[in-house]
């Protein structure tokens, strides 16, 4: 007598849930850090008695992490290409010092001064990229030397003294807010409308993308899971817009960050150069044999990093309103940690823009929450180090499973 029993088939009601769980399992790298960010925010919201999500603190959280997010976008491409840049903090501080000298000491208008600073950042990235790409010197060595060089140049440029204040128009880059057209007290209607419009636009783009994937037979998220995720994301974005609009509105630097995030998301996911950078980091020899000019791609990645480090330096000094010799100290560690925590692989070829952004805000929320709780800087560094190591261990574990 045959005693084998047939495998139980999931009921129709359980099928969507099973598909959703399978999708999350196969995309753990993508969703893991988002879930972690939400959990960390919920933890500190409870531990701080609701202080974390207050409009004033949310605004400060955005302003404090804006330059880290901006540099993380550039660092992500460098890491995906299989390299590293240890000089970004020093370049950020050097560009801030240059901006101080041009605007404060030489009375340059802030627009040409900013353009000169961005050009200088691009040249710095080009110089380092040339050594890495064409001279084949390891990026670790080149950028370590750059970190020391530009830290010293910043101190030389400022003669060891702080320079400020900056023009009011330049300060608005980092400390300004979207003006409210209505002019009514209370809720900033213009900022609220922009937030709702962005949530609606992102929802439309996501729905169209999902429909196109299904239409062309490409593997897509389970429909119910996709709809629930998209609705939740739109609701959270609308709620954050409301919180910010109830204080002073959307910060100018948040608009800059949003535009950059959308630009780099498009570049990495929809363009040929984006796909080639991932191919370069995945297997450089194979990429070269397939006709990709790997040296040029590496060079461009470092030029891009230099420009974004310069922009971050401008945002930082605009917020601080002073160029200081020690500006940018340790920024490179936060930027690199943001990318790795956000899912980028230390061996290259893997990483997403939104992952780097989420990683930056994980670090930012942890810093902010621990500061509110009165945890000392010594323990903060220990906790951040443990989180970074855990993120890399998860990456290594996932690779070994494949």
251: helix, strand or coil: strand
Write the CA distances from 104 to 113, 135, 143, 166, 349, integer angstroms: 10, 38, 29, 6, 43
323 within 8 A of 165, measured Cβ to Cβ:
no
Cα–Cα dist 132/135, whole Å: 6
Q: Which of 143-147, 171-175, 349-353, 395-399 is predicted with the least confidence, judged by mean pLDDT?
A: 395-399
% of the chain residues with pLDDT over 90: 41
- Domain ranges for the chain, please list them: 43-176+272-401, 182-250
pLDDT digit string (tens) for 93-130? 999 999 999 999 999 999 999 999 999 999 999 999 99
**Residue 14 vs residue 42, higher pLDDT:** 42
Tell me which CATH code domain 43-176+272-401 carries. 1.10.3470
Q: Residue 225: which H helix or E strand, with range?
A: helix 223-245
In this predicted structure, the answer to whether residue 6 has a pLDDT above a threshold of 80 is no
In this prediction, residue 3 carries a pLDDT of: 47
Averaged pLDDT of the chain: 86
Q: What is the DSSP string of 39-69?
A: HHHHHHHHHTTT-TTSHHHHHHHHHHHHHHH
pLDDT digit string (tens) for 213-262? 888 777 777 778 788 888 888 898 899 999 999 988 899 999 999 999 99
Cα–Cα dist 264/274, whole Å: 9
Average pLDDT over residues 9-30: 57
Average pLDDT over residues 136-153: 94
Average pLDDT over residues 316-345: 89
Question: Which residue in the block uniquely carries the two structure tokens 């404090």?
Answer: 64
In this prediction, residue 314 carries a pLDDT of: 95
Q: Residue 313: which H helix or E strand, with range?
A: helix 294-320
316 within 8 A of 90, measured Cβ to Cβ:
no
In this prediction, residue 8 carries a pLDDT of: 47
Cα–Cα dist 340/33, whole Å: 11
pLDDT digit string (tens) for 186-216? 788 888 999 999 889 888 888 888 888 888 7
Question: Which residue in the block uniquely carries the two structure tokens 């020093």?
Answer: 90
pLDDT digit string (tens) for 339-397? 988 888 888 888 889 889 988 988 888 888 898 888 888 888 888 888 778 777 776 66
- pTM across the whole model: 0.88
């Amino acid at each position: 007598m045959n005693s084998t029993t047939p495998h139980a088939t999931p009921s129709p009601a359980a099928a969507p849930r099973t598909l959703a769980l399978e999708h999350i399992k196969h995309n753990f790298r993508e969703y893991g850090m988002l879930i972690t960010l939400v959990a960390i925010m919920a933890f500190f919201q409870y531990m701080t008695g609701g202080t974390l999500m207050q409009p004033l603190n949310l605004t400060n959280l955005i302003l404090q992490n804006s330059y880290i997010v901006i540099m993380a976008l550039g660092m992500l491409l460098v890491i995906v290409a299989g390299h590293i840049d240890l000089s970004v903090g020093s370049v950020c501080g050097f560009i801030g010092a240059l901006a101080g000298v041009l605007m404060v000491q030489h009375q340059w208008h802030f627009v040409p001064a900013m353009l000169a600073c961005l050009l200088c950042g691009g040249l710095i990235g080009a110089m380092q990229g040339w050594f890495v790409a064409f001279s084949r010197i390891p990026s670790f060595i080149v950028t370590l030397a750059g970190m020391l060089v530009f830290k010293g140049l910043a101190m030389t440029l400022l003669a060891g003294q702080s320079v400020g204040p900056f023009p009011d128009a330049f300060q608005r880059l980092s400390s300004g807010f979207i003006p409210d057209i209505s002019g009514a007290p209370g809720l900033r209607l213009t900022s609220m409308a922009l937030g709702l419009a962005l949530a609606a636009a992102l929802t439309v783009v996501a729905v169209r993308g999902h429909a196109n994937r299904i239409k062309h037979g490409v593997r897509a998220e389970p429909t119910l899971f996709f709809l629930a995720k998209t609705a939740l994301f739109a609701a959270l974005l609308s709620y954050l817009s409301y919180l910010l609009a109830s204080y002073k509105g959307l910060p100018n630097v948040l608009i800059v960050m949003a535009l950059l995030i959308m630009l780099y998301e498009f570049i990495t996911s929809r363009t040929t150069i984006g796909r080639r950078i991932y191919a370069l980091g995945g297997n450089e020899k194979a990429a070269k044999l397939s006709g990709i000019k790997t040296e040029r791609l590496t060079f461009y990645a470092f030029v891009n990093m230099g420009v974004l480090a310069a922009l971050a330096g401008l945002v930082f000094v605009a917020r601080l309103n002073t160029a200081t010799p020690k500006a940018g100290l340790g920024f490179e560690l936060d930027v690199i940690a943001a990318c790795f925590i956000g899912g980028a692989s230390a061996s290259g070829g893997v990483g997403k823009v939104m992952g780097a952004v989420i990683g930056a805000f994980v670090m930012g929320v942890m810093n902010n929450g621990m500061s509110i709780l009165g945890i000392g800087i010594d323990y903060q560094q220990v906790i951040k180090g443990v989180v970074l190591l855990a993120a890399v261990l998860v990456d290594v574990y996932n690779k070994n499973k494949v």
